[in-house]
């Protein structure tokens, strides 16, 4: 699929229902498998990645039925998961494969996990190492002669007894690895603890606690203590709020093109996910938070952008802020391309091991639009070009949904029509992206090929 984008000729306007948060959706599905009671999930997104987790749940013995707007998931409980008849295809989804590693590490059967070409290049040693320290048996494939890492396919288990509790300090800020260890900790005797170097998304902590897991958090340390626990998780349901990472593209569009009013109701504003909004505020962009409320364990708000494109200024994104904005850094780079001055992103080496090497692909994409973007080992440096439009471009996304969508936003402020090739991957997180941008008044269309 290709995306064709024209420069925006007027301010954007409208209300868009952003699909359910991808990270929360994965967890709603996978954690419901562990529930002793049926769980109603409202607002699950329609992205292919969440679909992979849904299929994994059914392969492991869960049943998923539609009931009006909700999905009802009948899980197996903690100890009656079924051995999958075949390997589980995790597609493009790093969260599916890494969370599943933790979920099946303590099972008495073996599970094979594999994925698409991009997932088959992604590092798994980070999850294998702590799970192996807990006694899990995991084998993967060597990542290539020079690399010391391990990539999918992975085979996990069978476990011969309870796992061993560990006290683990994560070498990198990764919510997926943290979550895998916590899930395995449900199958360990004693206190399994994870300390993280930065504030990664804490949906697993919130949602497992909501289901009654024996979980406590103290600063950067999360612990599961199974001593004396009745091994029962249960809950009525989850409401999956709008995905701030998908909303980020439309917010960027509204800020760069100007907006009469762009309103995105019910977006997750969990502080571990709002680095993007904080970076925008530091750049002089304004996003109003209206109607704040709670959706189960997650805080949500309506996000509203109004007014002409502001005069944005460059900023520095580093440390905890880089962790809290990690998935939004490609689109923040596009915003930086329209800001006065030089924006620096540091402490974001994790970008190298996302769906693509996002330091390389973000810089290549911006350069195609005539913007100077210098890669650094742990980030990049963008020279803003606020005084004249970007140069219209034809770009490839390198199979990465967030690069494709960021490029489409750049196309809105270019000096002519732009084309994004190889954009099928948008469906992994936000199949309705082009339609939503069109609904706001953006001239974007998709075409096969």
The residues binding ligand S3P (CB under 6 A) are 23, 26, 94-95, 174-176, 179, 200-201, 326-327, 350
Plot region of 96 (φ>0 → left; ψ -120 to 50 → alpha; else → beta): alpha
Both tokens assigned to 315: 């900023």
Both tokens assigned to 382: 């963008």
Name the strands in the sheet holding 418-421, side by side, starting at the edge strand that comes first in the sequence. 394-396, 418-421, 2-5, 444-447
Cis upstream peptide for 158 (omega within 30°): yes
φ/ψ of 344, rounded to 5, equals: -115, 130
Q: Which residues of 375-386 are buried (b: 16+ CB within 10 A; e: fewer)?
A: beebbbbbbbbb
Distances (CA, A) of 269 to 88, 288, 315: 32, 12, 22
| Active-site residue, 327 included | yes
Least Å distance, CB 350 to ligand S3P, is 6
Catalytic entry in 49, 116, 202, 327: 327
Q: Do strands 12-15 and 63-67 pair parallel, antiparallel, or not at all (unpaired)?
A: unpaired
Q: Which residues of 277-292 are buried (b: 16+ CB within 10 A; e: fewer)?
A: bbbbebbebebeeeee
Closer CB to ligand S3P, 326 or 339, in the complex:
326
Least Å distance, CB 172 to ligand S3P, is 7
Closer CB to ligand S3P, 356 or 418, in the complex:
356
Question: Which DSSP string do the residues of 131-149 spell out, in sequence order?
Answer: HHHTT--EEEEE--SS---
Q: Are 112 and 158 in contact (CB under 8 A)?
A: no
Least Å distance, CB 245 to ligand S3P, is 7
Which residues are tagged catalytic? 327
């Amino acid at each position: 699929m290709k995306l064709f984008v024209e420069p925006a000729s007027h301010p954007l306007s409208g209300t868009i229902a952003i699909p359910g948060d991808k990270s929360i959706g994965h967890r709603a599905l996978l954690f419901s498998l562990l529930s002793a009671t049926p769980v109603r999930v409202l607002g699950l997104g329609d992205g292919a990645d969440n679909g992979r987790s849904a299929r994994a749940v059914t392969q492991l013995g869960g049943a998923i039925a539609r009931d009006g707007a909700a999905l009802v998931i009948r899980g197996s409980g903690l100890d009656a998961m079924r051995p999958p008849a075949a390997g589980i295809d995790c597609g493009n989804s790093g969260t599916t494969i890494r969370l599943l590693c933790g979920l099946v590490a303590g099972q008495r059967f073996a599970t094979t996990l594999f994925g698409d070409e991009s997932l088959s290049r992604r590092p798994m040693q980070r999850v294998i190492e702590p799970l192996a320290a807990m006694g899990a048996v995991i084998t993967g494939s060597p990542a290539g002669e020079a690399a010391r890492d391990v990539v999918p396919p992975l085979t996990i288990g069978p476990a011969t007894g309870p796992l061993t509790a560990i006290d683990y300090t994560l070498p990198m800020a990764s919510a997926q690895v943290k979550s895998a260890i916590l899930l395995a900790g449900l199958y360990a005797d004693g206190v399994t603890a994870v300390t993280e170097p930065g504030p990664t998304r804490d949906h697993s902590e919130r949602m497992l606690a909501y289901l009654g897991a024996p979980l406590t958090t103290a600063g950067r340390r999360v612990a599961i203590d199974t001593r004396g626990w009745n091994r029962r998780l249960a809950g009525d349901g989850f409401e999956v709020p709008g995905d701030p990472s998908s909303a980020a593209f439309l917010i960027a569009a509204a800020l760069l093109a100007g907006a009469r009013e762009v309103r995105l109701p019910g977006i997750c504003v969990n502080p571990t996910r709002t680095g993007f909004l904080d970076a925008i505020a530091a750049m002089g962009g304004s996003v109003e938070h209206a109607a704040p409320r709670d959706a189960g364990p997650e805080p949500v708000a309506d996000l509203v952008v109004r007014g002409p494109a502001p005069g944005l200024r460059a900023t520095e994104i580093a440390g905890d802020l880089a962790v809290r904005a990690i998935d939004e850094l490609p689109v923040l780079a596009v915003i930086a391309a329209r800001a006065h001055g030089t924006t620096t992103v540091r402490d974001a080496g994790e970008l190298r091991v996302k769906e693509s090497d996002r330091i390389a692909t973000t810089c290549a994409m911006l350069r195609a639009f005539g913007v100077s973007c210098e890669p650094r080992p742990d980030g990049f440096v963008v020279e803003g070009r606020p005084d004249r439009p970007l140069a219209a471009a034809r770009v490839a996304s390198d199979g990465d949904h967030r690069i494709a969508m960021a490029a489409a936003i750049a196309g809105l402020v270019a000096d002519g029509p732009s084309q994004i090739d190889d954009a099928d991957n948008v469906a992994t997180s936000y199949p309705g992206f082009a339609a939503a941008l069109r609904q706001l008044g953006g001239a974007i269309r998709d075409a096969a090929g």
